[in-house]
Amino acid sequence: MGLANQGITPGRTTLLEAINVLLENIGEQPVDAFEKEQIQDARIAEHTILELHREGQLRAWSWNSEEFYPFEKDQATKEIVVPANVVRFTVDPYFYDGRFILRGQKVYDKLNRTTKLPDDIKEIHANVVWLLTWDESPEAFNRYTTIRAARVFAARVMGSDSIVKYTAADEQAALTELMRVELDQSQPNALTGGRGLGPMPTYQPGMGLLRGVYGGVVIG
């Protein structure tokens, strides 16, 4: 790397840079402006990255999923049209008694067998997973997708076991870093209450006394 390049402030990995990682992994020259290139391998590389980028988001991460997201009914059509970038739509089966599902991009009323919702339904809340673009996704996820796509791309284009084995270790390292970032951001806690509730304390010495005597009365 030249001194001029070392002086450039590093930023997020662009989609073009990710495509070039795939090309270099099979010994091809990188491209400068993909939109103007007609290189078959470059097009396949782009399709491979975007395919795995979409697939990886179906897992539902802290950064592309939301709970109890409101969808308002259009008063003119009496329908709820869900945005096309919603790849998972799940309503609370206990709150709605399994009545509403997503059919195509519209909410379907299984009770009345129609997408035309009754007047008493103004909006529906659902747990959703959004399909985000490359630039909207975290760097750690894009990095993992790039390394994974490099392995898949090499296998599809070259059929080379040696290249696949070489990138498998990198893929595992990128996944480990992605999971670390995910844990830092999601802060999972088995003792956390429900929505709007704070985490329950893991240990309260004073509560142990309640198992013995409370106000002079043995209760435990």
Residue 67, pLDDT > 80, answer: yes
Q: Is position 202 within any domain? A: no
Q: Is position 146 within any domain? A: yes
User: Is residue 69 domain-shared with residue 173, that is, in the same domain?
Assistant: no
What mean pLDDT is predicted for residues 98-105?
92
Range of the domain at 79: 65-130
The rounded distance, in Å, linking the Cα atoms of 26 and 176 is 24
What mean pLDDT is predicted for residues 168-178?
90
pTM of the model: 0.76
User: Is residue 24 domain-shared with residue 124, that is, in the same domain?
Assistant: no
User: Is residue 126 domain-shared with residue 70, that is, in the same domain?
Assistant: yes
What is the SS3 assignment for 43? helix
Residue 4, pLDDT > 50, answer: no
Q: What is the pLDDT of residues 192-204, one digit of tens each?
A: 544 555 555 555 5
| DSSP 8-class letter at 81 | B
User: Is residue 79 domain-shared with residue 168, that is, in the same domain?
Assistant: no
User: Is residue 76 domain-shared with residue 54, that is, in the same domain?
Assistant: no
Residue 162, pLDDT > 90, answer: no
User: Is residue 15 domain-shared with residue 109, that is, in the same domain?
Assistant: no
The rounded distance, in Å, linking the Cα atoms of 211 and 154 is 63
Q: Is position 212 within any domain? A: no
Task: Please tell me the least confidently modeled range out of 16-30, 66-80, 152-166.
Answer: 152-166
Q: Is position 89 within any domain? A: yes
What is the SS3 assignment for 100? strand
Percentage with pLDDT > 90 across the chain: 54
Q: What is the pLDDT of residues 14-66, one digit of tens each?
A: 999 999 999 998 888 888 876 655 678 899 999 999 999 999 999 999 999 99
- Looking at the structure of the chain, the number of domains it has is 2
User: Is residue 93 domain-shared with residue 49, that is, in the same domain?
Assistant: no
User: Is residue 111 domain-shared with residue 163, that is, in the same domain?
Assistant: no
User: Is residue 161 domain-shared with residue 70, that is, in the same domain?
Assistant: no
The rounded distance, in Å, linking the Cα atoms of 116 and 112 is 9
At residue 191's C-alpha, the angle toward residues 186 and 195, to 5°, is 65
Q: Is position 96 within any domain? A: yes
User: Is residue 153 domain-shared with residue 46, that is, in the same domain?
Assistant: yes
What mean pLDDT is predicted for residues 111-123?
94
Q: What is the pLDDT of residues 126-148, one digit of tens each?
A: 999 999 999 999 999 999 999 99
At residue 62's C-alpha, the angle toward residues 59 and 64, to 5°, is 70
In terms of Cα–Cα distance, which of 80, 219, 63 is closest to 140? 63
User: Is residue 46 domain-shared with residue 150, that is, in the same domain?
Assistant: yes
The rounded distance, in Å, linking the Cα atoms of 120 and 168 is 54
